[in-house]
């Protein structure tokens, strides 16, 4: 597996649109807190694991980004992503011994909460005769397991949750995460399951206040969001193992688009999925062929097999790095 990130530098046009995106984005509210949390997390996890080698760290992106239409935002463009893929994958990465930076949409699906009933939170509990709060008998096994697994990950210091809502927040936090993961070299991994907006309204050309319907039909021009995958591979974290996703609605173009993404953005794996079937089947496109992965039944997760394959690929990638380093010394 080629560890290269494509030696060519970023095209000038892309560099300009990336700079313009970050220069004009509204600044992150809590960037110093995020930076502090990231530094502590990477420091803790870059020390040796029980097995002797450094801990592998994966950044899982999850859920959809919004595109605000007004600075004092009343309306925004959103997408369908629930964050289930990212949450489920996070659980299987933990199982495989990875530390996870879970970069997720606020309010989207969370690891270990996927099995909890969708109904009201209040349905999990009941009042005892002495007014104490108890977990309902019918949900108790599921709730106890969720709490236990979640606490275990948090206590081991292997979970860092970073939320986003808008495309501006998402890309700014992603850049911070990627740059802070750079020292991990090939032990870092990116798993881009988030559904990232392709178009946005630049902050400076956005209406300040609520757009008035009395002004008639709305005519709005959206700029293209620069694809940050190339920047991540070439500049932010060039040695990390990188997986992106390709979502399409037309099965006839899916594999061709995934293949293109693989080459254009120098991804190690592209996971191709169709809107109609993405919950139960995906095609993992690699540099030596494609692998179809399907869930066995409605109770099993397609993510379980996907993560097994990715962990194995990541091991091979690390092995190749070691061989190259030995070769150089």
Contact present, 178 and 59 (Cβ < 8 Å): yes
The number of helices, as runs of H, and strands, as runs of E, in the chain is 8, 14
55 vs 192 by CB, closer to ligand PMT: 192
Nearer to ligand PMT, 42 or 247 (CB): 247
CB of 73 closer than 8 Å to CB of 116: no
What tokens does 269 get? 């794996």
**Alpha-helical runs (H) found in the chain:** 12-24, 31-45, 84-95, 140-155, 167-181, 228-231, 251-265, 302-328
Q: Longest Cα pair distance anywhere in the chain, in angstroms?
A: 71
Looking at beta carbons only, is 125 or 199 nearer to ligand PMT? 199
DSSP 8-state assignment for residue 207: B
* Distance of closest approach, residue 88 Cβ to ligand PMT, in angstroms: 8
The residue (of 83 and 111) whose beta carbon lies closer to ligand PMT is 83
Contact by Cβ (8 Å): 307, 293: no
Q: How far is the CB of 79 from ligand PMT (least distance, A)?
A: 8
CB 257 to ligand PMT: min, Å: 7
Give contact residues for ligand PMT (rule: CB under 6 A): 63, 81-85, 192-196, 198, 225, 227-229, 244-247, 273, 278
Two tokens, residue 82: 């629930």
- Of residues 191 and 317, the one with the C-beta less far from ligand PMT: 191
Least distance CB 204 / ligand PMT (angstroms): 19
Residues in the chain: 329
What is the C-alpha to C-alpha distance for residues 262 and 87, in angstroms, rounded to an integer? Answer: 24
Tell me how far, at minimum, the Cβ of 279 lies from ligand PMT, in Å.
7
Question: For ligand PMT, which is the closer residue by CB, 99 or 267?
Answer: 267
Q: Which is nearer to ligand PMT, 45 or 94 (CB)?
A: 94
Closest approach of Cβ 232 to ligand PMT, in Å? 8
10 Å CB burial of residue 128 (0-12, 13-18, 19+) is exposed
CB of 235 to ligand PMT, least distance (A): 14
DSSP codes, 200-233 = E--GGGSBSSPPPGGG-S-----EEPP-HHHHII
């Amino acid at each position: 597996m080629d560890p290269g990130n494509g030696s060519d530098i970023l095209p000038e046009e892309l560099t300009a649109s990336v700079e313009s995106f970050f220069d004009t984005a509204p600044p992150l509210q809590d960037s110093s807190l995020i930076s502090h949390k990231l530094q502590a997390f990477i420091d803790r996890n870059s020390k040796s694991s029980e097995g002797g080698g450094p801990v592998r760290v994966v950044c899982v992106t999850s859920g959809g980004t919004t595109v605000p239409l007004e600075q004092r935002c009343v309306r925004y463009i959103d997408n369908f992503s629930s964050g289930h893929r990212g949450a489920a994958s996070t659980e299987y990465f933990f199982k495989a011994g990875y530390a996870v930076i879970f970069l997720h949409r606020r309010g989207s699906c969370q690891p270990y909460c996927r099995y909890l009933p969708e109904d009201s939170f209040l349905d999990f509990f009941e009042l005892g005769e002495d007014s104490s709060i108890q977990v309902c008998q019918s949900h108790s096994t599921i709730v106890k397991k969720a709490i236990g697994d979640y606490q275990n990950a948090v206590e081991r210091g292997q979970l860092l949750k970073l939320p986003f809502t808008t495309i501006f927040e998402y890309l700014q936090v992603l850049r911070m995460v990627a740059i802070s993961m750079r020292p991990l070299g090939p032990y870092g991994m990116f798993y881009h399951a988030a559904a990232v907006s392709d178009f946005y309204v630049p902050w400076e050309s956005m209406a300040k206040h609520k757009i008035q319907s009395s002004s008639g039909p709305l005519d709005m021009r959206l700029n293209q969001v620069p694809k940050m995958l190339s920047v991540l591979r070439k500049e932010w974290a060039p040695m990390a193992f990188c997986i992106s996703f390709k979502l399409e609605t037309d099965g006839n173009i899916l594999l061709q688009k995934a293949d293109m993404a693989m080459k254009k953005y120098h991804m190690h794996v592209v996971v191709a999925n169709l809107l109609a079937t993405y919950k139960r089947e995906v095609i993992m496109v690699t540099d030596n062929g494609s692998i179809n992965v399907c869930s066995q039944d409605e109770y099993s997760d397609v993510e379980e097999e996907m993560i097994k394959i990715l962990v194995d690929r990541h091991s091979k990638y690390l092995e190749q790095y070691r061989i190259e380093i030995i070769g150089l010394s």
